[in-house]
Amino acid sequence: MGAIKTPILITSTEELRTALTGAGEIGFVPTMGYLHEGHATLIRRARQDHPGGRVVVSVFINPMQFGPSEDLSRYPRNLEGDLQVAGQAGADIVFHPNAAQMYPEGFSTRVSVSGVSEPLDGAARPGHFTGVTTVVLKLLNMVRPDRAYFGEKDWQQLAVVRRMVTDLNVPVQVVGVPTVRDPSGLALSSRNSYLSDEQKARAAVLARALRAVQAAFAAGERHTQALQQAGLDILAADSEVTLDYLSVVNSHLQETELVSPDPLNRVLVAARMFGVRLIDNLPLDQGPDDIGRNV
């Protein structure tokens, strides 16, 4: 077994373009750092798809996608650990720009996607997706990848990025990768680091609520309100849950009175537990990979 390589750490766009000149196909994994097994899964997929090319991972905590009362200042950071995780998973380059590099003096452009960005997290976190699409488009222009990899845990983000790439003719293939979970079913997230082991076990109630919705759908229920109630009943049993939403939506992120056949139907949830905002989702039509992959 060969030694694990250390990825090159690059902090400027100029260095990045030099490093990628003549690199062949490029796979790109944008992150906010504090990498975990979910990120590693994205990186390994990018490595698999680009065996003779380059895999780039960005680590940038994007201030534009945080609201004024959110956790920007305390968002977890560990660049040394990120380099180790990225290297073990097969990354060649870790791109780590600072805020001044990404948003220099005079920066005044915003990228806004209507429609799919408006419900759910768009309503709960005003301005969030404008921050996401602005930074993702900048990063895509900096890295110029052939494929970019996003986790399905952030299902709405994935839909928003796909819409932006399609609408603006960005020459990149957006690849969604199934959610990775710990053995309890809790979706992996950098924000899980705020929770104790006992709190993480409690937070798995979100995944149980999603599975209850799946079970109701599998049993023949097609009324959206009844499907959602199956999940709400699970969440109501835990006093720690402060719910933002639990919603059954179609491929356009819209709720309808009755669920029509669509493989992209999804049930999504966002809630605060122990002071931490957590999100999760599952496909409505239960399949072999519906609960992602456990670590």
Which residues are annotated binding-site positions for (R)-pantoate? Answer: 65, 157
Close Cβ partners of 254 (under 8 Å, ≥ 6 residues apart): 119
Q: Which residue ranges make up the annotated binding site for beta-alanine? A: 65
Close Cβ partners of 46 (under 8 Å, ≥ 6 residues apart): 27, 28, 29, 55, 90, 91, 147, 149
Return the closest-CA partner of residue 30 out of 137, 180, 167, 184. Answer: 137
User: Which residue stretches of 6-36 are H helix?
Assistant: 13-20
Q: Is 96 a catalytic residue?
A: no
Q: Active-site residue among 39, 50, 96, 128? A: 39
Q: Which residue ranges make up the annotated binding site? A: 32-39, 65, 151-154, 157, 180, 188-191
Q: Which residue ranges make up the annotated binding site for ATP? A: 32-39, 151-154, 180, 188-191
Quickly count: other Cβ atoms within 10 Å of residue 220's Cβ.
Answer: 6
Distances (CA, A) of 216 to 18, 49, 213, 243: 54, 37, 5, 20
User: Which residue stretches of 205-286 are H helix?
Assistant: 205-218, 224-236
Residue position matching structure tokens 């680009």 = 50
Distances (CA, A) of 17 to 28, 144, 145: 14, 9, 11
Catalytic residue list: 39
